[in-house]
Structure 1
Amino acid sequence: QFDSVIVATGIRPRSWSIPGLKGQGVSVGYTAVLKSEITVGTRVAIIGAGGIGFDVADYLTHDGDASFSNAWGIDQDLSSRGGLVKPGSRTSKREVHLFQRSSGKVGARLGKTTGWIHRKTLKDRGVQTHSDVEYQKWDDGWLYFTEGDIPQKIKIDHVVVCVGQEERNELVEAIRETGMDVHTVGGALNSRGLDAQRAIREGLEAAYNVSPWNISQES
């Protein structure tokens, strides 16, 4: 029997679908992609252009160490002066499309000091961005949508869903009903605007609050 429980079960990706997409085996969550649980095709639509969407786009368009060195002009053989050569093309082997429902510049809400770097990196790799989008349907490998009221369709192998996250905190009430003291931290407490700094702070504070040393000091 425990006196206190800290629930740090994190988040789950928010689900998303459009007519015709369910059951086709082409829609995947971003966690499955980042964990390499599936082999993503060469034509990819990323739904959601927030921080997660940009990270997934960066991950999918990174073609390995050789392409990185080529893009940044790094001479791995050290045969040139300073180990530097003329940078080559950064275009990825994948055709990636990054979508957002809102109008305006894609990635405008990224960090002020690093957002421009992420946008430039994806632009250099050939990632195509779409804003002011309304999704219509999925039909026979084609994603139908409107962009600024203009009907469009794109041939796609996989749709990666990056439309946010939800708290994974189902255990909280069940534990509380047993009479134990419950502390919820990180994504399980609030998934909005989640970052590692906040989650670590909340975990540290919860551990301090339930520690025998702290309790004895207060008493």
Structure 2
Amino acid sequence: MEKQKEIIENKLSDDMGKMGEEFNNFMHKVTEVDGIIKKLTSKDKDLQAIGDQEAKLYLREETVLDDIDGETISLKVTNDRTIVNKIAQESGNPNEMSKDSFMAEVERDADQRYKDRLIRTEKMETFKKQATLAFRRKEFEKALVLYNKAIEQIKDSPLLYNNRALTYIKLGFPDKAKSDLENWALKLNEDCLKSWLLLAKINYLSGDEEESKKCVLEAKKRNPKEIDFIEDYMKTMYKESRKS
């Protein structure tokens, strides 16, 4: 049992590392696009030219920097078959890309990503249903595998991290559960009642009653209409913990 637990824990560490890297890559892309747009809309001609080059590189068009001096930057387009190059030619200057042209490509890419997300959402729902069924049958290891697969498809669902955290608790991994709640679920939705209550439960069962109380207070502050429910939940949790 201990060996199996160690294997699962090592696999989980690898998965969390990959997810963190993917999130960082996503944030880098957001920052990169924002920087390109600012350069394209700059009043500085040199910055516009640099933004033009970066936009083409971002959209995977091969370009060659011909010359740089204090006043001008010219770009030689080496691939006439790209969509980006066609847009640039239609604008009247084959060497320059406008903000609108760049945004049109970004929007086209966003539309494709939206369609891809719909497909991934369908897959996620399938894995989530299977995971929920496994959890109800107390097949917690199977549920964990399925929740991992669901999260691979959709990484910004607080519900999935809450459910996986609950599965971690059942498997005896409170630290993993806490990480899912603090580093994922509550960052995606800082008001999520279920996340705060699960976090309160983990802290209480781990012997940190002070931190547990803080989580309960935070849950009440962020969900004032659910105070009665929160108090009932905690009373039930205290009662069950005394029985075990």
TM-score of the aligned structures, taking structure 2 as reference length:
0.25
With CA pairs under 8 Å and 6+ residues apart, which has the higher RCO, 1 or 2? 1
Q: Which has the higher strand share?
A: 1
Q: Which has the higher helix share?
A: 2
Max radius of gyration: which structure? 2
TM-score of the aligned structures, taking structure 1 as reference length:
0.28
